[in-house]
Amino acid sequence: MTFLYGPVLVTLVVPAALILWQWRQGRRSLALPFDHGKPGKGRAWWVFLSLADNLPALVLAVVIILLAGPIRLGEPKDKRSLTNIELCVDVSGSMTAIFGEGTRYDTSMKAIDSFLTYRKGDAFGLTFFGNNYLHFVPLTSDVSAIRCAPPFMRPEVAPPWMGGTEIGKALRACKKVLAERHEGDRMVLLISDGDSFDLGGGVDLAVGKELKDNNIVVYHIHISDVRIPDSMINITSITGGEVFNPGDPEALKEVFKKIDQMQKTKVEKTIGDTLDDFWLYCVIGLSLAGTLLLSWFGARYTPW
């Protein structure tokens, strides 16, 4: 137990001095006439009345303790460790290819919607990319904007400068966004169906190292029938992530579930909140004050 205003406790010397003075006064007596009797010493009554006289000093001591602000630490709490997840979605023309009952883009965004439910409490950002990139939704734990985003950046309505596929440029843009987050883990979930010409000549290794140096894990969902690009295998392996190649919409949903299991939510113990601890002292103080009130009805010295 600690006190918010510890120096106030120094004033406890006042009630202590009053109690000491009370007991050092000596016995108070009054001579009374007795016929043929031996007067008693009245020691028991002296102790009882002296204790009653100490009650005001004890009440003062409790008041001083309350003014010092007794506090205690509450129970440690479980805190969900935040994961910052940047969703990086390809909106090039090839994402209009049929995949299941819709296009690759539509099916991917539906799967992302389910993934947002799995990771409730994490921070999500949404970046669309082609030959350029657009940070459509900043990192936030309010995912309603991401759920409303699909109609606005469909490949059919995306700007012309989004037509190609430059994954390297998009990953570096996501790295800048995540590097600004100082709390929690960092992850990029990249969804694309093509190869990227800007990752050749060892650039993929450089991008992977940059991401790893910033503690960013990359998971890549290659939503295409063609072979998974070696560059993406290199980047994901360097950062500690993985590449997935779902063959149908159901497999795509399972991929998101697997990523959720691989990137487990962390729970940390936090120090409990500081709480006031007045209850015991209030009970003691009220008990002493009540006893003092009762003592005034007769438990006191009288000179007659």
**Do 118 and 260 reside in the same domain of the chain?**
yes
pLDDT at 10: 92
**Do 254 and 278 reside in the same domain of the chain?**
no
Say if residues 169 and 134 touch (Cβ distance below 8 Å): no
**Do 121 and 37 reside in the same domain of the chain?**
no
Distance CA 240, CA 188 (A): 11
**Do 84 and 70 reside in the same domain of the chain?**
no
**Do 185 and 154 reside in the same domain of the chain?**
yes
Q: Is 102 exposed, middle or buried (0-12, 13-18, 19+ CB in 10 A)?
A: middle
In a domain, 302, yes or no: no
**Do 36 and 65 reside in the same domain of the chain?**
yes
Residue 123 bridge partners (DSSP): 84
Q: Where are the beta strands (DSSP E) in 241-281?
A: 242-244, 267-270, 274-276
pLDDT at 6: 87
pTM comes to: 0.62
Q: How far is CA 134 from the centre of its chain?
A: 30
Mark the ranges of the chain whose per-residue pLDDT is less than 50: none
**For residue 38, what are the domain limits?**
2-74+272-295
Domain count, the chain: 2
pLDDT at 132: 92
Q: Is 260 exposed, middle or buried (0-12, 13-18, 19+ CB in 10 A)?
A: middle
**Do 34 and 116 reside in the same domain of the chain?**
no
Distance set, CA 160 to CA 132, 133, 233 (Å)? 10, 12, 29
Look up the CATH number of the domain holding residue 140.
Answer: 3.40.50.410
In a domain, 303, yes or no: no
**Do 63 and 147 reside in the same domain of the chain?**
no
**Distance between the two ends of the chain, CA-based, in angstroms?**
48
Distance CA 233, CA 243 (A): 6
**Do 16 and 118 reside in the same domain of the chain?**
no
For 100-123, the pLDDT digits (tens) are: 888 999 989 988 888 888 777 788
**Do 229 and 113 reside in the same domain of the chain?**
yes
Task: Return the C-alpha torsion angle 6, 12, 13, 15, nearest 10.
Answer: 170
